[in-house]
Structure 1
Amino acid sequence: MAGNAKSANELLQSALQRQLNRDSLGAAQDYRRVLEVDARNKNAWYGLGIIDQQDGRTADARANFEKALEIDPHFMSALYSEAYMLRSSDPDRAVELLKRAAATNPKAATIHLQLGQLLAARGRKSEAGDAFRRAVAVDHKLLSQVPEEFRDAVSR
C-alpha cells in the first residue's frame, strides 16, 4: 500500500508539473493513472475538473468537482472552482457551494466577498450584506470591493 501511495504522489506531482507546462493531455493521463491506483484521490478528480473547465467541457468539469466533493465535502478548492464555474449558469448552486466554502473556512474573506456579490446580484440584499460584513471583518481592505450601496452598513 505504501508503494501505491508513493506512486500516486509521484503521478500527482508529474500531473501538476505538466499542467504548469501547459500539457493538459499529459496531465490528464497522469491524473487518470492516479485514479487507477487510488480511486478516492480528491486531488486527481479536482485536477481533471480544472483541465475540463479550461477546455470548455463544463459538464465533465462539474462531474469531476462533484466526485472530489463526495470524497471531501469541505474541499475548498473544489467548492470554489465549481461555484465560480456555475455563477452564471446555475447561480443558486453557486451560492450553495460558496456558503459551504464559507462555513468550512470562516476566515476566507474573498469567499465571503464573492458570496456577497452573487447574493446581491440575485437581489438577496440582507444575506449579501451579511456576507460583505463577514468579508470586511476578516480583511478591512476588501471594503473598496464592496458595492457602494452596502458600504455604509458594512463599515459600521
Structure 2
Amino acid sequence: MAGNAKSADSLLRSALQRQVSRDPLGAAQDYRRVLEMDPRNKNAWYGLGVIDQQYGRMADARTNFEKALEIDPHFMSALYSEAYMLRSSDPDRAIELLGRAAAVDPKAAAVHLQLGQLLAAKGRKGEAGDAFRRAVAVDHKLLSQVPEELRDAASR
C-alpha cells in the first residue's frame, strides 16, 4: 500500500508539472492513473475538473469538482473553482459554495468579494454589505471593487 501511495504522489506531481508545462492531455492521463490507484484522491478529481473547465466541458468539470468535495467538503480550491464556474449559470449554488468557502477560510478576501458581488446581483444588499466588509477588512485595496452604493457599508 505504501508503494501505491508513493506512485500516486509521483503521478500527481507529474500531472501538476504537465499542467504547468501546458500539456493538459498528459496531465489528465496522469490524474486518471492516480484515480485508478486511489479513487478518493481529491487532488486528482480537482485537477481533472480544472482541465475539463479549460476545455469548456463544464458538466464534466462540475462533476469532478463535486467528487473532490464529496471526499473533502472543505476543499477550498474545489469550492472556489466550482462557484466561480457557476456564478452566471447557477448563482444560488455559487453563493452556497462561496458561503462554505468563507466558513472554511474567513480571511479569504477573494471569496468574500465574489460572494458580495453575487449577493448584490441578487438584490441581497445587507448580506452583500457584510461580505464586502469582510473582504475589505482582510484587504483594504478591494474597496475599489465594491459597488459604489455599498462602499460605505464595506468600509465600516
TM-score range for the pair, normalised by the shorter chain length: over 0.9
Q: Aligned-pair distance for 1:154? A: 1.7
Corresponding residue number in structure 2 for 1:39: 39
Whole-angstrom distance in 2 between the partners of 1:117 and 1:22: 32
Listed as ranges, the matches of 1:4-153 within 5 Å are: 4-153=4-153
Whole-angstrom distance in 2 between the partners of 1:139 and 1:18: 33
Whole-angstrom distance in 2 between the partners of 1:84 and 1:130: 19
CA displacement, residues 61-111 of structure 1 (integer Å, 9 cap, x when unaligned)? 000000000000000000000000000100000000000000000011111
Whole-angstrom distance in 1 between the partners of 2:87 and 2:154: 23
Q: Aligned-pair distance for 1:8? A: 0.4
Q: Which amino acid aligns with 1:10?
A: S
Identity percentage over the alignment? 86
Whole-angstrom distance in 2 between the partners of 1:23 and 1:136: 37
Q: Which amino acid aligns with 2:139?
A: D
What is the TM-score of this pair, normalised by structure 1? 0.98
Q: Aligned-pair distance for 1:140? A: 1.5
What is the TM-score of this pair, normalised by structure 2? 0.98
Q: Which amino acid aligns with 2:83?
A: A
CA displacement, residues 36-71 of structure 1 (integer Å, 9 cap, x when unaligned)? 111100000000000000001000000000000000
Where does structure 1 lack aligned partners over 5 or more consecutive residues? none
For this pair of structures, how many residues does the alignment match?
Answer: 156
Q: Aligned-pair distance for 1:130? A: 0.6
Q: Secondary structure at the match of 2:89?
A: coil
Q: Aligned-pair distance for 1:145? A: 1.3
Mean CA deviation greater in 60-69 or 117-126: 117-126
Where does structure 2 lack aligned partners over 5 or more consecutive residues? none
Q: Aligned-pair distance for 1:152? A: 1.2
Q: Which amino acid aligns with 2:9?
A: N
